[in-house]
Amino acid sequence: MQPLQLLAWHLPEDLDPQGLQHALADSFNFKSDTVKKSICRWFDTFDWRIFRSNHILTREGSDWVLKDLHGNERHRLRGGRKLFRFAGDFPDSPLREKLQQILSVRALIELGVAEIHTTRLHILNQDKKTVALLELQEIVDRQHERQLVTVRLQEIRGYDKWLKRITKHLKGLGIHKKIQPVDTLEFILEGSDRKLLDYTSGYNVTLEPEMKSRDAVIRIYRFLLAGIQKNEQGVINDIDSEFLHDLRVAVRRTRSALTLIKDVLDPDIEKHFKKEFKYIGGITGSVRDLDVYLLSRNTYSAQLPERLRNGLEYFFDDLANRRRQEQRKMVRAMRSARYRKILADWDKILSSDSELASGKYSNVPIIDLAGKSIHKRFRKVLHDGKKIHGHSPDEELHRLRIECKKLRYSLEFFSSLYDQEHMKQFIKQLKMLQDNLGDFNDLSVQQSMLADLLSRIKPGTVKSRELSASIGGLMTSLFLRHRKVRARFEQTFAHFSRKKNLELYHALFDR
């Protein structure tokens, strides 16, 4: 069956809701319901995941409603008084399932709130049957004394001819400017300090090949600094784990650029800020490590029999406590004079035009530096990777992982200077190698966490014996997976360093 139409228009300035009702009464019979008032709140993650998945999430009264961008309701859930932040907070429902897909680990942030005054008119035929629903909606932003008035027409199955008649009549009254849910969202955002899609994580800086290196790196550093600044408040307010993650990635990229693209700014400045950003990486490290452990909480719990889950809970509760302490420490450090000075000074350097901040390569075209930097990193990866064999210590794979990251960062920094299709392909090839090394690292980290957990279990009870046995079981399965991933390394690396990729590399970077 066809979905029912829901049409919506702006109410033009020269018409008010009363005036519209009078105008309609001349041509249609209708009965009106009493005006309904409700509070509506709009939500999305910091990086607009819901909007980017083509949905809009609101809370109308105590109902959570997920609509698509055409205004069709996809899911509705009657909620209680609690405001849910994470997908897992929602009661088990189709809405929760959908949100889990979209949100992953991110939290919902309230984008704005408004009062909605709805007057519903039932348009009636001769038999007094309702053949269409016309709603006049005033969306009132009390705080800023603004409002948006819309006219919505809901089709009733089997009465599409009426829909057409009424639409035509409304057009005659000057009501024809369509409105979409995104317009309402933008109206709400106008009263806030945010704009639609004002943040996405990920690196996106375009450079021109003949740009002076100095201008190019400043553009890169500015982008990364903005990333740090945008995420700061979310980190301090501890909204979700991704603020810290994104902030740390921006810091890591900054450090990487300072190392990879040397002597473009004054070398003393580069050296100084390398150290200072390392400090920032340092003060944020423990919280991130604990976040990563805590994110695995549900996965491990699900792999243990129910009666043993309590033991695991104590361990994770302990981690959560430690995280709270580390979070407080980190926030203190982020509010400290040193931290503020680092970012203020860096901002100043990136804004100054003066020759102070330049090194010997500052006027060299960026394309030259780019090639050199990428080449250096690529050779290191090939060289170190080739040396690894079946009996090499794990440490060598961890080091190679870092080298691959450096190569990846330099590819990303300069990606806009090269052929996009080929660059995409090459990065895809590198990603396969990085995934193998990343899994390897991840499994190592998980095994040490479990070993740590094992060492903290107080022995002596039946439960503690069983918990230890289960942990041992988990460790074994991780160990086996770890071995499998390790065994795949040689093949994965051989694939990465094969002739086809080397040709691709040369096609991309030889001038």
Partner 1 sequence: MAVIAVYNIKGGVGKTATSVNLAYLSADSGKKTLLCDMDPQGSASYYFRIKAPKKFNADKLLKGGKGIAKNIRGTDYSGLDLLPADFTYRNLDLALDDFKKSTQRINKILTPLLKEYDTIFLDCPPNITLLSENIFNAADILLIPFIPTTLSLLSFQQLLNFFKKTGIDRKKLYVFFSMVEKRKRMHLDMMTRFQGRKRVLKQSIPFLADVEKMGLFRKPVLEIAPNSPASRSYRLLWHEVEKAASKK
Nearer CB in complex with partner 1: 130/492: 130
Candidate ranges 93-101, 155-163, 285-293, 389-397; the one touching partner 1 (CB under 8 A): 155-163
* Interface with partner 1, residue 48, by CB under 8 A: no
Determine, following the binding rule CB under 8 A, whether residue 6 of this chain makes contact with partner 1: no
Footprint of partner 1 on 113-132 (CB under 8 A): 122, 125, 127-130
Question: Is residue 82 a contact point for partner 1 (CB under 8 A)?
Answer: no
CB of 35 to partner 1, least distance (A): 19
| Closer residue to partner 1 in complex, CB, 154/259 | 154
Nearest to 32 by CA among 122, 118, 117: 122
DSSP 337-380: HHHHHHHHHHHHHHH--SGGG--TTTTSBHHHHHHHHHHHHHHH
Integer angstrom CA distances of residue 444 from 60, 115, 381, 432, 454: 46, 52, 21, 19, 15
| CB-nearer residue toward partner 1: 117 or 122 | 122
- Measured from the CB atom, is 130 or 444 closer to partner 1? 130
The position carrying tokens 């639609």 is 196
- Is residue 156 part of the contact set for partner 1 (CB under 8 A)? yes
Does 428 interact with partner 1 (rule: CB under 8 A)? Answer: no
If one asks whether residue 14 binds partner 1 (CB under 8 A), the answer comes out as no
Cα Rg of the chain, angstroms? 29
CB of 158 to partner 1, least distance (A): 3
Q: Which residue's CB is nearer to partner 1, number 165 or number 422?
A: 165
The helix (run of H) or strand (run of E) holding residue 156 is: none
* Stretch 295-354 residues interacting with partner 1 (CB under 8 A): none
- Which residue from 81, 82, 157, 389 is in contact with partner 1, where contact means CB under 8 A? 157
Work out whether 30 is an interface residue with partner 1 (CB under 8 A): no
223 belongs to the binding site for partner 1 (CB under 8 A): no
What residues does 109 pair with on adjacent strands? 44
3-state SS class at 72: coil
Tokens 């580390």, residue located: 326
3-state SS class at 135: strand
On whether the CB atoms of residues 27 and 169 are closer than 8 A, the answer is: yes
**3 part of the interface to partner 1, by CB under 8 A:** no
Give the span between the Cα atoms of 141 and 511, in whole angstroms.
58
CA pair distance 388, 488, nearest whole angstrom = 12
Quick check: 74 binds partner 1 (CB under 8 A)? no
User: Both tokens of residue 133?
Assistant: 């629903």
Task: State which of residues 80, 158, 393, 459 lies at the interface with partner 1 (CB under 8 A).
Answer: 158
Tell me which residues touch partner 1 (CB under 8 A).
1, 4, 122, 125, 127-130, 156-159
